[in-house]
Amino acid sequence: MRISDAASYQRLLDNLNMLNSRLETATEQVSSGRRLNHLHDGPSAAAEMVQLNGQLAQIDQFQTNADQSNYLLQFSDSVLTSVYDLVTAIFTRGSEAASSLADEQSRAILAVEIRSQRDQILSLANTDVQGRFLFAGSQSASPAFSLSGDTAQYHGDNVINTVDINNGLSVNGNIPGSTAFQRVFETVEQLLAAIDAGDETAIRSSLSGFAGALSDVNKVRAALGVDLAKIENSSLARQMQQTSITARQANLSNADMAQAVTDLTQAQTALQASLTAGSMIHRYNLFDFLV
């Protein structure tokens, strides 16, 4: 093949350009540690990244929801534990008042104690977290219960907010006070009325209502336990989803360092060789030998 001078220079230039661009790609990968620096580096990988980022953001959100619900449900559970203890204590006082040995004065003292414990239950039923009354249903801006005399009145509703903790999985985010506290307050109210009246039979019959009140509290706690377990059990699933998405993302976008460094070295060597060859080849032509 006939080689013109301009063409041989042009070919050298083309080769140098090509090697320089390979060197730049390799340098970018090595220095950023990423293979996916532009959308055009891998259109389908970039598209998958978008989808994965969306999924990951949603799983992170489910995790936040789970943490928040876990906190509120644990908190509610500890409140209900205290309520259970207080109701048991009131039952004990009630049993004392039911005894034939109890006189009017001792019954009056017991009534004072029971009222104080009942007030503690009221305070627990009106527990708030950052101004949100936990047991008021959707009316959570104001206290769930108020007392007029010994009669407790519920101001909330029966709305339960469910919270999503994974795709298609949700837990109850709150317990309406009506289910947990209504019977407790009614039973205590009957007991107090009977004690105040000094009616031994009435005291006894009101004490029989405590089993139902305590069972209400326990049922609610059992339901809470189920939701807490749901959160606990789904946490592993979320973690595994997160791990697999992050791994896939790394797979898509991270440079294979060994490969990238090899490419870099290769491109460097080739460029060096090309430069040396270029400088040697173009040193002579026939004119150098003509006198």
Question: Using CB under 8 A as the criterion, which residues of the chain lie in contact with another protein when the complex forms?
Answer: 1-7, 10-11, 14, 34, 36-44, 46-51, 53-54, 57-58, 60-61, 64-65, 68-69, 130-133, 136-141, 156-157, 159, 161-164, 167, 173-174, 253, 285-287, 290
Smallest gap from Cβ 206 to another protein, in A, equals: 33
Residue partners of 96: CB distance under 8 A and separation at least 6: 102, 106, 110
Q: What angle do CA 280, 285, 288 make, to 5 degrees?
A: 110
Least Å distance, CB 99 to another protein, is 44
CB of 200 to another protein, least distance (A): 43
Q: Measured from the CB atom, is 68 or 81 closer to another protein?
A: 68
Report the distance separating Cα 163 and Cα 227, nearest Å. Answer: 11
Quote the CA–CA distance of 206 and 192 in Å, as a whole number.
9
The nearest distance, CB 41 to another protein, in angstroms, is 8
Q: Which of residues 120 and 179 has its CB atom nearest to another protein in the complex?
A: 179
Structure tokens at 46: 């970039």
95/249 with CB nearer another protein: 249
Give the separation between CA 48 and CA 108, rounded to whole angstroms: 74
Apex 249 CA angle, 246 and 252, nearest 5: 155
In the bound state with another protein, the residue whose beta carbon lies nearer, of 25 and 205, is 25
- For another protein, the closer CB: 138 or 265: 138
Q: Is 147 helix (H, G, I), strand (E, B) or coil?
A: strand
Least distance (Å) from another protein to the CB of residue 70?
Answer: 11
